[in-house]
A = this chain, B = another copy of it.
Amino acid sequence: MSRPTIGDVAAAAGVTKATVSHAYSGKRPISVATKQRVFAAAEQLQWVPSSSARALATRRANAVGIILARDPDILASDTFFPAFIAGVESVLARQEVALVMQVVTNRTAEERAYRAMAHGRSDGVILLDLHRSDWRVGFLQDLRIPAVLLGAYDGETSFSRVRTDDATPVKELIAHLRAAGHERIAHVAGPLDYVHSYVRARAYLEETGTPELLREGDFTAGSGRDLTAELLRLPDRPTAIVYANDTMAIAGYSHARAHGLDVPRDLAVAGFDDDHLSGHLSPALTSVFTDPRRRGEVAAERLLADIAGDLHREVTVDCTRLVLRESTAAAAPTTARPLLTKELP
């Protein structure tokens, strides 16, 4: 015997499907006695409404989507992502909305995935990892599906946005390093076509005016190491480096220490995003806490509101916070100590 349907429940309770439906939805008044018969029958048959049938009839999937175009390896080592999901879920859970995730590896698959989202798989999507001019914005607008953009997307759009101020903490970080005596401060950025990388890098440039000390990494440990090596080989090497994430920062300072530099005495180091281990390293890593959990909550709330018809608002989440730790603690010498180039790779 197969799963019971609403028809089975109706038959058992001696009513029609419509009555069962109304008994649950409350959209039409149903007498108490009938309701009880219906609920009893449903209980006894262990009836659970079919999500797909309901989705078809109501044109509501009761789900929201997130599509990731990242390489699975990068996803695996990302500290932002699980916390963000946790935040999203904590909001969705209350309304029994599910989260549909899809990881794609090429543009064709990505478009197909978004189309599927728009056509019954989900009621709205959250866009992460925005590029400065992101094709997905226009694409989703054509698809007429609610979307929430995470980050400081500047382009034209009618979608809701959840912004954070990434520039201020970068500037504060640099001010902090300056106050500690640093004059040559470098920045290892993330890929500059990502808006969040770009905003951080621009803040760095506005504050320091030293484009020659800016490097573009890709958020991986390997690029953190390599670019750090490159910066330290400079004739007039930086005494402090601000990284766009903690993974690069840690790889960077490990490299520096392996080549005889003391952190923070010879090189001050700061990360971004405050990985949960960063406070436990030694020296503990200065970073910027960006509360991904909370941003996930806000994005989910905003999206649900959009879906419910309260459209197109912009929310700014004020949640970034400097976390000063040992890696930037000690005052640095005014001039960099001479460094034997042979010590460096």
Known contacts A52-B52, A75-B85, A280 near B251 by CB under 8 Å: yes
B119/A51 in contact, CB under 8 A: yes
In the bound complex, CA of A15 to CA of B99 (Å): 37
In the bound complex, CA of A101 to CA of B89 (Å): 8
Give residues 42-89 of A contacting B (CB, 8 Å). 48-56, 61, 63, 68, 72-73, 75-78, 81-83, 85-87, 89
Identical copies of this chain, number: 2
Pick from B61, B73, B254: contact of A280, CB below 8 A.
B254
In the bound complex, CA of A223 to CA of B280 (Å): 14
A53/B56 in contact, CB under 8 A: yes
> Is A187's beta carbon under 8 Å from chain B?
no
B103/A101 in contact, CB under 8 A: no
What 3 A-B pairs have minimum CB-CB distances, sorted nearest first?
A89-B103, A52-B55, A51-B120
Q: A residues touching B (Cβ–Cβ < 8 Å)?
A: 3, 48-56, 61, 63, 68, 72-73, 75-78, 81-83, 85-87, 89-90, 92-93, 96, 98-105, 109, 112-113, 115-116, 118-121, 144, 221, 246-247, 250-251, 254, 257, 275-277, 280-282, 292-293
Besides A49-B119, A72-B87, A76-B276, 5 other A-B contacts (C-beta < 8 A) = A48-B115, A52-B61, A76-B292, A85-B101, A277-B281
